[in-house]
A and B are shown apart, each in its own frame.
Chain A
Amino acid sequence: MIAEPALERRTRTRQFVRIDSGYRWATRASAVFVLLVLGGVILSLVEGALPALGTYGFDFLTSQRWNPVTEKFGAAAPIYGTIVTSFIAMAIALPIGIGIAVFLTEVCPPVARRTIGTAIELLAGIPSIIYGIWGLFTLAPFLQEHVQPSIIDAAEGIAILETLFAGPPYGIGMLTAALILSVMVLPFIASISRDVFETVPPMLKESAYGIGCTTWEVVRHVVLPYTKIGVIGGAMLGLGRALGETMAVTFVIGNAHKIHGSLLAPGTTISATIANEFTEAVGDLYTSSLIALGLILFAITFLVLAAARLMLARLERREGK
């Protein structure tokens, strides 16, 4: 009589343990799936890129030939375009992004803080193809008519600037792509900077105010040094985005496989080349060269993003989270 409920309890416990370990394994398998995706991406890119890398070897990285007819491919122009557009974008977006973060944490009245912060973050939510179509039909013609001619005129006769901003004003080109990219990464930099600014202990800031510092001096000498790693991490996260951004750039870069001294000239980036040419690529070498471009892009962004994440993680550890 007493044995039976005990037995029943034992079988139920055993059943619980079984289901629980099943559940545990299901969640574990899903976690491992993430690693498999990364492994799959690397493997398939390497596999797809091998024919091109085997044919051209190291030349693939340094040559700027891109001739589908003779099947001569080199990645120098897209790599150059990717790096140049991203760095110009960062040069524009970093100071402005930090400025927005300063505004949100120090200047903005608390009532409007959330609304303005959300509005800035919505910029990150707009799909990149929207930036593309807007850049092509609205921004590029505007730049072509009103901005680029005066830049070209102003730069004329000044040694380096003359080559950097040599005409004619196409509207589209490297500089336009960089400008759009800067708007796209702006919200990332702004929102991460704001988040790390908010981690500065109020006591530190109050001590500085206590000895008579102005708001700017507090930002410059307390907040920024304290959050340096976080801001750099956020900036690199933005850089990772800019390097891999595809559609917005594809619309406005002009897709020219040529390294041009002028920033106003059309160029191309790795992602724009793939997006433009992949479905039209005929022949194994052509396809393989495009996949090799993808592999290079993945390697670059992976390094940048990994460095960014490590920096942000270090900051979190210091906070003792």
Chain B
Amino acid sequence: MTLYARRRLRNSLSLGLSVGAALFGLLWLAMILVSLVVEGVGGLTLKVFAEATPPPGAQGGLLNAIIGSLIMTSLAVVIGTPIGIFAGTYLAEYGRDDRLSTVVRFVNDVLLSAPSIVVGLFVYEAVVVRAGHFSALAGALALAIIVVPVVLRTTEDMLRLVPNALREAGASLGAPRYVVIRQVIYPAAKAGLMTGVLLAIARISGETAPLLFTALNNQFMSYNLNAPMASLPATIFQFALSPYQDWQRLAWAGALLITLAVLALSIVARLIGGGKPGK
């Protein structure tokens, strides 16, 4: 075989492998989605949205878990978003390259991918032990701690994309910094900021580990923020590992619900953000 033929062969071989790699990735996505739909659709009846979680062997739904997830997720977003946006504003506008910003940027990047179960342990030690009981509030706090780094990162990236000419135009009209930020920069970066929040919601709506020992779980309907509260991921965890068929079917239905919600959120976030944040 000539050198040229060998090089061409090696080229098509390795590029063929790269196609294989991409197919491998897509195959997993397809397999997971297909078995979620196959296993989950059967359990997805109206009852799921209308009744609370049943005892083993009885009929029921996931209403308390859905409501609990909604409550804790919204609370976490309400707590975490302002902190994330403010901190991101400092990094992009006031601080830029001062020492605090450099350190915060680094620490935030580390927190962004830190194991979420550690956040759960932290909130357990800091809130649950001190309060003496598990509570939905502690669960929401744990989720909020996960929201902050996501929102901070996207906020900074998006604010930095706003051209300096806009800041200068604002300043030349005599507008103080905060007016420029609030009336020029934020509106210009609005879509990007929304992306950050949506990504954060997508991230926390499937989080289980930080809820296990903060919000715990609850078999019954509860709106009390000071008491344990059910959540979809924690319920899936409990039901999937149980030996009862009905519970496992509900777990699959819940898993399908969460996946659909998360995938929809991340696709919407991508569409309005016009691409990947951080670029």
What mask results when residues 235 to 250 of chain B are scored 1 for a CB within 8 Å of chain A, else 0?
0110011000000100
What mask results when residues 7 to 24 of chain B are scored 1 for a CB within 8 Å of chain A, else 0?
110110011011111101
- Residue pair A246, B115 in contact (C-beta under 8 Å): yes
B252 nearest in chain A by CB position: A133
A143 contacts B by Cβ under 8 Å: no
Stretch at the interface among A44-52, A68-76, A158-166: A44-52
Chain A residues with CB below 8 A from B109, complex form: 305, 309
A99 nearest in chain B by CB position: B21
Chain A residues with CB below 8 A from B251, complex form: 133
- Residue pair B266, A309 in contact (C-beta under 8 Å): no
- Residue pair A294, B118 in contact (C-beta under 8 Å): yes
- Cα A244 to Cα B94 in complex, Å, equals 34
A118 contacts B by Cβ under 8 Å: yes
- Cα A302 to Cα B114 in complex, Å, equals 7
- Residue pair B115, A132 in contact (C-beta under 8 Å): no
- Residue pair A214, B10 in contact (C-beta under 8 Å): yes
What mask results when residues 218 to 262 of chain B are scored 1 for a CB within 8 Å of chain A, else 0?
000000000000000100110011000000100110010011001
- Residue pair B209, A31 in contact (C-beta under 8 Å): no
B216 nearest in chain A by CB position: A279
- Residue pair B177, A24 in contact (C-beta under 8 Å): yes
Stretch at the interface among A148-156, A183-191, A203-211: A183-191
Number of interface residues of A (CB under 8 A): 93
Partner of B118, one of A23, A116, A133, A297: A297
Partner of B18, one of A26, A106, A246, A306: A106
- Cα A24 to Cα B111 in complex, Å, equals 24
- Cα A243 to Cα B29 in complex, Å, equals 22
Which of A226-265 touch B at CB < 8 Å?
Answer: 237, 240-241, 243-247, 250-251
Stretch at the interface among B43-51, B52-60, B100-108, B184-192: B100-108
Which of A100-137 touch B at CB < 8 Å?
Answer: 100, 102-104, 106-108, 116, 118-123, 125-134, 136-137
Partner of A37, one of B93, B125, B148: B148
What is the minimal beta-carbon distance from B112 to any residue of chain A, in angstroms? Answer: 9
B140 contacts A by Cβ under 8 Å: no
B181 contacts A by Cβ under 8 Å: yes
- Cα A174 to Cα B64 in complex, Å, equals 34
B30 nearest in chain A by CB position: A119
What is the minimal beta-carbon distance from B50 to any residue of chain A, in angstroms? Answer: 23
Chain A residues with CB below 8 A from B39, complex form: 137
Known pairs A40-B126, A134-B32, A216-B15; A127 contacts B94 (CB<8 A): no
Chain A residues with CB below 8 A from B107, complex form: 34-35, 38
What is the minimal beta-carbon distance from B257 to any residue of chain A, in angstroms? Answer: 11
- Residue pair A129, B22 in contact (C-beta under 8 Å): no
A63 contacts B by Cβ under 8 Å: no
B133 contacts A by Cβ under 8 Å: no
B205 contacts A by Cβ under 8 Å: yes
A19 contacts B by Cβ under 8 Å: yes
- Residue pair A247, B208 in contact (C-beta under 8 Å): yes
What is the minimal beta-carbon distance from B38 to any residue of chain A, in angstroms? Answer: 9
Partner of B91, one of A31, A35, A244: A31
Partner of B149, one of A34, A96, A251: A34
A16 nearest in chain B by CB position: B176
Known pairs A28-B95, A129-B206, A134-B36; A37 contacts B145 (CB<8 A): yes
- Residue pair B118, A244 in contact (C-beta under 8 Å): yes
- Residue pair A44, B279 in contact (C-beta under 8 Å): no
B199 nearest in chain A by CB position: A125
- Cα A246 to Cα B101 in complex, Å, equals 31
Partner of A298, one of B114, B152, B279: B114
- Cα A110 to Cα B276 in complex, Å, equals 17
A59 contacts B by Cβ under 8 Å: no
Chain A residues with CB below 8 A from B266, complex form: 122, 125
Which of A165-205 touch B at CB < 8 Å?
Answer: 183, 186-187, 190-191, 195
- Cα A122 to Cα B25 in complex, Å, equals 10
Q: List 9 A-B contacts (CB under 8 A).
A: A34-B148, A41-B119, A98-B21, A120-B25, A122-B266, A243-B115, A247-B209, A250-B237, A275-B212
Q: Which 8 A-B pairs have the closest CB atoms?
A: A127-B206, A244-B115, A99-B21, A30-B86, A27-B90, A214-B11, A30-B87, A44-B125
